Structure 1
Amino acid sequence: MSKVIAIVGPTAVGKTALSIDLATFFKGEVVSGDSMQVYRHLDIGTAKITSKEMAGIPHHLIDICDVDQRYSVAKFKQEANGWIKEISNSGHLPLIVGGTGFYLQALTNNLSLGGKQDQQRSDMFREHWQHILKEHGAHYVWQQLEKKDPEAARAIPENNARRVIRALEVIETGNQLFSQQQQSRAKDEFLLIGLTTARPVLYERINKRVDLMMNSGLLDEAKWLYDKGGSDLPAGKGIGYHELFSYFAGECSLDEAVGKIKQDSRHYAKRQLTWFRNKMDVHWFDLVSGKNDTNEIKQFIDSWLKK
């Protein structure tokens, strides 16, 4: 059994900088736990770490998919476990870093994700709900989940149709509620380090980050994705992209689109915090306000590693 550090928390709270500090100190390697950073060419809107920022630390599960390829939580769990084993066998410390709550929960809690279900049946089920989604809209599909599994519906925003349909699929084909997926003992031992700060401070950091992204070329990056297929692509649902698609389509002004990115990012951060606090056993630190410092986190991790 390997010991693994996971750094979690909402967007714009400093996870990347901490991960490099810890990886340098503990001789670690980073495995991304972000569902959007798997996509090539989407660098600015996903706040993807740059080669310079990596500071020579090996990073995995970044830039492994084209924007028209679908990446799943099951695939993430399989590949992350593979990297954890390889990194540990090399004598390094695996660090899982990201803010995609369900990905991290599936890995750290070893959630059952359907096992050897009949693939054809699953495909037919998803096709059925995709048809309903086109006819009746995301709110209607989300309402069907709310009727079957209210707890899952509370955790999944209705505009995340792919996750809503996935939850309905688990209920239908797995004979269990999505919110009560079976979990078994994890193969590895995880210590979850969570970063947070006061909500107004976090929201201001998010707003400033969006402005920085726009100044760094997010508009061009989003236009490239829009021209490739936009919202019809698996990668086209990400915050920072789909809001700008409305601008390209002439449905809103650029200022309105940027304001929507900020709003959606703030809402997402709130959902991230709720997920990590309710679904996972996280040890929280606040580096932004100075309430805690990185040395405190290092000492905490060092004590855990020596147990």
Structure 2
Amino acid sequence: MADATGALDPDESSGGGGAETPIVALVGPTGTGKTALSIALAQQLGGEVVNADSMQFYRGMDIGTAKATVDERQGVPHHLLDIMEVTEEASVARFQEQARTCFAEIRSRGRVPILVGGSGLYVRAALDRIEFPGTDAVVRGRLEQELHDGGPGPLRARLRQIDPAAEERIRDDRRLVRALEVHELTGRPFTAFMPERTHVAPAVQIALDLDRTVLHERLERRVHAMVRGGLEDEVRGLIPHGLREGRTASQALGYGQFLAVVDGTMTVDRAIESTVVGTRQFAKRQLTWFCADPRVHWLPAEDPLLVNRALELVRSGTHAD
């Protein structure tokens, strides 16, 4: 059993009866305390952390992504941090392969994989039965040129004919191009590749619930702390490494704003305000995403027995799926 501090007896750390502890996934909105809980659970379960925050893949993007420092990791091994240059574009399909390789390697050491992050599609890619069709630079380039020349209208009309369900759901131009690319390459509608809510291996997903007002205040304080901690200098230091050219990295919250500060097109105060607003909106989208998944267990983020509660969920989930 778990004691008052939340610690499991050694014989029960794998769920008892020789059952393998499921993959633990800590998900949900940014700023709720996933990192601290992941460290506590890793120490109790003999776990290793696998990052599922797409912006923490990038080397040098530390302050603005709230990446755990070496000291904060407290000796717990972390994987899939600092694996990309800022000029590279993150790929969900590649992440799926990397994450599942990490899971297998961690298991081979007799330890527990703990997936941590709020990038919803990346979490599902790691945990769920989901297939990612290939890509073709020539086809995508042609479609992007059509988008540039004629706007989204003609492309939407084409998608409406071949995959009306996808056309109805897609709101941004990037996914519009992707849906047409997938159909052209595979002959199958984009909706055919939508993920099932079925884990490929036993997993327990835990999210932390926090009062919205408290979360908003916490996110604002965190942005101010990032600025005091040197976010602008971090952005300036990444420019020679290609931050401006990175299609994904340059759009990260805080980084785009402080690139504008460097360029003189935005004041620091305006950059802070924009980053706070953007972070709150991002947290709202994360909340919507994970609330839609009935498999996610929500725990009060400020519960003094949070670690204990999470360990109980993990133990009970040993026999799930």
What TM-score, normalized to structure 2?
Answer: 0.82
What's 2:285 paired with? 271
Among candidates 153, 160, 166, match of residue 170 of structure 2: 153
- Structure 1 position 130, deviation (Å): 3.6
- Structure 1 position 224, deviation (Å): 2.5
Q: Gaps (5+ residues) in structure 2?
A: 1-19
Alignment partners' CA distance in 1, 2:156 and 2:216:
29
- Structure 1 position 195, deviation (Å): 1.1
Alignment partners' CA distance in 2, 1:164 and 1:272:
21
What's 1:87 paired with? 106
Q: Deviations over 1:56-83 (max 9, x none)?
A: 1111000111111222000110010011
Total equivalences in the alignment: 295
Partner SS for 1:265: helix
Is 1:197 aligned to 2:210, yes or no?
A: yes
Alignment partners' CA distance in 2, 1:141 and 1:18:
48
What's 2:29 paired with? 10
Partner SS for 1:285: strand
- Structure 1 position 252, deviation (Å): 2.1
Identity level (%): 35
Alignment root-mean-square deviation, CA:
2.8
Partner SS for 2:292: helix
CA contact (8 A) 2:27 2:208 kept: yes
CA contact (8 A) 2:87 2:243 kept: no
Written as runs of structure 1 = structure 2, the 5 A alignment for 1:131-280 is 131-132=145-146, 149=166, 152-153=169-170, 158=172, 162=174, 165-174=177-186, 175-178=188-191, 181=194, 183=196, 186-234=199-247, 235-279=249-293
- Structure 1 position 280, deviation (Å): 5.8
Partner SS for 1:193: strand
Q: Deviations over 1:78-135 (max 9, x none)?
A: 0100110111121101100001100111222121111xx4x5xx21232134435656
Structure with higher Rg: it is: 2
CA contact (8 A) 2:22 2:317 kept: no
Q: Gaps (5+ residues) in structure 1?
A: none
- Structure 1 position 303, deviation (Å): 2.4
In structure 2, relative to structure 1, the CA distance for the partners of 1:2 and 1:22 (3 Å cut) is closer
Partner SS for 2:170: helix
Partner SS for 1:244: helix
Among candidates 265, 273, 287, match of residue 301 of structure 2: 287
What TM-score, normalized to structure 1?
Answer: 0.85
